[in-house]
C-alpha cells in the first residue's frame, strides 16, 4: 500500500480529456495522489469515486482566477502539498492571421497563455514554501515550428516557451524545476477541441486544406507512451528544460533548429560587413547626435 505521506501529489489542469485524463489515471494507478481539475467537474468525478483516498476532483477554469485559487486551496486542504503542476489545459485555433477575430485571439491567449500563467503563479508560493516542486508546461512542436493558418496558436505556444524558459531560471534558487513538454501528433481529441475561425476568407481555403492534409499524414503517437514519458521525467533529479514526445516531435524540432542555424550563419556576413565598414560612404554623425 502506498505511503500517503510520501506519495507524489499532482495538480493537473484539463483533466477531462487527452493527456490530462490519461496522466491523472496513470498517476493514481501507480499510487500517487492527484488533484484533477476541469471546467466541468462532472467529467472527472469518476476519478475521485474510483480513488476516494488519493483522487480529488476540483472545478478549475483557467480563464477564471477565482476558480484557480479555490482549486489550489482545495487540493492543499486534501493533501497538504503539491509536488507536480501540469499545465495541460489548452486548445488549437485554425485561421490565417488576417482572418481571426480580436475575440478569437484573446480567447486563445486567455486559455493557452494567461491561464497557464495564472495557475503557475498560484502554485509557486506553495513550491517555494516546500523548497521543491516541478512544473510541466504542455507546449507543442507548434511552440518551436510554425505552419500557416495556425499563427495565433503558435503565438500562444511560443509565449509559453519564453515564459517557461525564464521561469526555470528564476526558480533555480528555490529548488523548483520546469520542463516544457513538446508533443507532436498523438491520438487525442485535440483536433475535435480545436476551433476554426468563424470568418473564413476564400483566398485561404487551399492553404487551410493543405495544412489539414499534412497534419493528417503525420505519424501519431499512442497517448499512454507520452504519459509514461511525463511520469519518468518527474523522477529525474535533474530533469530537462525541453522534452519532445511523439514520433515526429524530435525530428521536426531538430530540422527547424538546424534550418535556423544555417540561415543565421549564411547571413552573418551582413553584420560583419556592417561592422567593418561602419561609416564608410555614409555620415552617421548626425544620427549619433540625435540619439
Domains (range + CATH), the chain:
9-247 (3.40.50.720), 253-291 (no CATH)
**Beta-carbon contacts of residue 54 (< 8 Å; ≥ 6 apart):** 2, 4, 7, 28, 31, 32, 33, 34
264 classed as catalytic: no
pLDDT digit string, tens, across residues 132-168: 999 999 999 999 999 999 999 999 999 999 999 999 9
The catalytic residue among 15, 16, 74, 139 is: 139
Contact 76, 125 (CB under 8 A): no
The catalytic residue among 15, 56, 74, 153 is: 153
**Beta-carbon contacts of residue 94 (< 8 Å; ≥ 6 apart):** 149, 150, 153, 194, 195, 196, 197, 208, 211
pLDDT digit string, tens, across residues 234-290: 999 999 999 999 999 999 999 999 999 999 999 999 988 887 776 566 666 666 555
Contact 104, 142 (CB under 8 A): no
Instruction: Tell me how far apart the alpha carbons of residues 57 and 12 are, in angstroms, rounded to a whole number.
Output: 10
139 classed as catalytic: yes
The model's pTM is 0.91
Query: Residue for cell digits 495565433?
Result: 152
Query: Residue for cell digits 542555424?
Result: 261
91 classed as catalytic: no
At residue 275, the pLDDT reads: 78
The catalytic residue among 140, 157, 164, 204 is: 157
Tell which residue, 160, 154, 153, has the closest CA to residue 195. Answer: 153
Amino acid at each position: 500500500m502506498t505511503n500517503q505521506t510520501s506519495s507524489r501529489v499532482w495538480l493537473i489542469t484539463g483533466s477531462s480529456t487527452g493527456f490530462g485524463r490519461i496522466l491523472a489515471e496513470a498517476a493514481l494507478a501507480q499510487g500517487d495522489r492527484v488533484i484533477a481539475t476541469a471546467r466541468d467537474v462532472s467529467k472527472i468525478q469518476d476519478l475521485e469515486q474510483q480513488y476516494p483516498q488519493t483522487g480529488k476532483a476540483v472545478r478549475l477554469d483557467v480563464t477564471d482566477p477565482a476558480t484557480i485559487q479555490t482549486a489550489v486551496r482545495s487540493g492543499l486542504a486534501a493533501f497538504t502539498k503539491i509536488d507536480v503542476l501540469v499545465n495541460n489545459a489548452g486548445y488549437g485555433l485554425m485561421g490565417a492571421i488576417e482572418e481571426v477575430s480580436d475575440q478569437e485571439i484573446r480567447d486563445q491567449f486567455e486559455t493557452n497563455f494567461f491561464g497557464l500563467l495564472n495557475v503557475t503563479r498560484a502554485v509557486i508560493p506553495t513550491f517555494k514554501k516546500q523548497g521543491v516542486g516541478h512544473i510541466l508546461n504542455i507546449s507543442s512542436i507548434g511552440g518551436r515550428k510554425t505552419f500557416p493558418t495556425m499563427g495565433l496558436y503558435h503565438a500562444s505556444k511560443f509565449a509559453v516557451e519564453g515564459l517557461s524558459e525564464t521561469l526555470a531560471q528564476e526558480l533555480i534558487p528555490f529548488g523548483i524545476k520546469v520542463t516544457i513538454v513538446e508533443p507532436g501528433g498523438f491520438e487525442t481529441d485535440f483536433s475535435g477541441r480545436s476551433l476554426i475561425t468563424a470568418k473564413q476568407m476564400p483566398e485561404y481555403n487551399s492553404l487551410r486544406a493543405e495544412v489539414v492534409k499534412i497534419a493528417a499524414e503525420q505519424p501519431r503517437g499512442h497517448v499512454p507512451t507520452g504519459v509514461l514519458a511525463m511520469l519518468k521525467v518527474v523522477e529525474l533529479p535533474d530533469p530537462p528544460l525541453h522534452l519532445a514526445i511523439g514520433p515526429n516531435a524530435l525530428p521536426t524540432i531538430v530540422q527547424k533548429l538546424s534550418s535556423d542555424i544555417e540561415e543565421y550563419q549564411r547571413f552573418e556576413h551582413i553584420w560583419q560587413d556592417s561592422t567593418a565598414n561602419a561609416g564608410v560612404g555614409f555620415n552617421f554623425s548626425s544620427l549619433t547626435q540625435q540619439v
